[in-house]
Structure 1
Amino acid sequence: MLQVSTISRSFGEHRVLDGVSFEVQPGRMTGFLGANGSGKTTTMRIILGVLAAHGGTVTWQGKPVTQAVRQRFGYMPEERGLYPKMRIAEQIAWFAQLHGLSRAAARRNTDDLLEKLELTERANDKLEALSLGNQQRVQIAAALVHEPAALILDEPFSGLDPIAVETVLGVLRERAVGGVPVLFSSHQLAVVEKLCDDVVIISRGAIAASGEREELRRRYGTPRFELVVDADAGWLRDLPGVRVVELDGPRAVFDVADDAMGPERTAQHVLRAALGRGEVHSFTPVLPSLDQIFKEAI
């Protein structure tokens, strides 16, 4: 497990991180979310030892992260750190050898990743000849090629089209299933919601929310329900404690007020009223999207 505990960091008088704490569990994908300037990249650089923390600790398996441990991590920075004139396969294998793999293992891992990332046909091309999306895939391959014990990825889906996103997701899921903890940042909240097991939201250098994805959806969700009946559901507007959000004939989405009756009792009151009017096809809670949670948390 990778654990960040109360880390702080300042640049001059500006405090960029203030008591940041979270965990990245083995075999789980953790989405790291925050607006520009919130502290995401600074936190990742501290984990990797690129920057020093001014307080707090970063531990791996309960012990302080040393340079030898960091050598086993896979890191993908937001800005590309590859060589534009170097051939793709040669470059990825070279990164693997820098991490201590033998020439044969580096070549084997490189070929495997190029196939999974659908880059085999471009193996002998120079990086600069590739589109930005394919360059991003090469960057991901360079972070994975040495079979890292943990992955820290800064905006790994930037510049990827939907098909490429699915390809990369498959490779990252495979690593997570194998027990690797994965921490990644992204502005594409729909991708994060689809991929992550856990979510960490940082705002102005402090953790605004963190936890398992579905638990956060329950915690931050306004009591909201979807009702589908036989006839028009417009009568919902006249019920106390109910605010209709969407209405489309027999289908309605509504919020219930947290009043003296309580949201659950109000919801049951709505259901009884619907049953008294005819057949109810469905009555289900509606959980918020990650985008809604993000906006509320920050």
Structure 2
Amino acid sequence: MASEPFNHPNSSSSSFILVGVPSLEAFPTCLGILFCSGYIIALLGNAVVLLVIGLDNSLRDPIHCFLGMLAVIDVVMVTSIIPTMLSVFWLNSAEIGYVACFVQMFLVHSTTSEESGVLLAMAIDRYIAICHPLRYRAILNRQTVAQMGLAIVVRAILIIVPLTWMVMNLPYCRSRVVLHSYCEHMAVAKLACADPRPSRLYSVAGSSLIVGMDMAFIAGSYGMILKTVLGKKSARKAFSTCGCHICVMLLYYIPGMVSIYAQQFHSGVSLHTQILLADLYLTLPTMLNPLIYSMRTKQIRQAVLKMLFSRKVDA
């Protein structure tokens, strides 16, 4: 006999069970230490960036606004998943409520879209600053920066709300075990009694569109930057900066897309590898972003040193 659906749109009392990382259940302490360490590093790094930008009035250029947005997104992103993962690894508390699961799903996937949008905005900022320095202030004024920030958030909402609604309104069977360490939409949709393919196809199409479009514009921006500085004294610095940025972007985009495509097209990638990739693409860039994007920025680096030096003097 077929299983009765255990929830419906009003079943807020229902819950799911998170597995963590299948086939690696014997190493909960090690996994917990790994992700907890990453969480602490991400929180500290992004907190320093936000504190310095908030306290130093000289850090009001568009790039600093984008760096602040990136830091906020990173904090929300890792906070939406790491505490849940640690409760699974360390406290053996694997249950997550129905509503909490879909809130987590929305936060995870909306922040990934927003992060991609901010990376694109930062690439455009660097292109205008290097290729059109005399028009930089005129092009990227406060109104334009605010509109770009609003567009990034609205795009994420318009794409992720329908996906969350589609997965949330599927009828779920009595098996509540999510083969993942957080409420990833494909892992949750697999539990549905109905056909989950529409939501999965929507997810793959939406992710491909966002990543493809953003990476194309980012590549174009960095390509024009390198073309502009080629043969100049600043070429070495530009190559170094662009190279670091591209490496961090690849660490963000590639694992995420491999995880999504592997789940959709049933590739030979093992389940625990897919889940670790999904976990790492959310945590690793949030640790590296403050270092690569912010601390390599001269004004922010000087502001951090100034803040630390002044505190030592006061003490």
TM-score by length of 1: 0.25
Q: Where is the strand percentage greater, Structure 1 or Structure 2?
A: 1
Q: Where is the helix percentage greater, Structure 1 or Structure 2?
A: 2
Larger-Rg structure: 1
**Highest RCO, 1 vs 2 (Cα 8 Å, sep ≥ 6):** 2
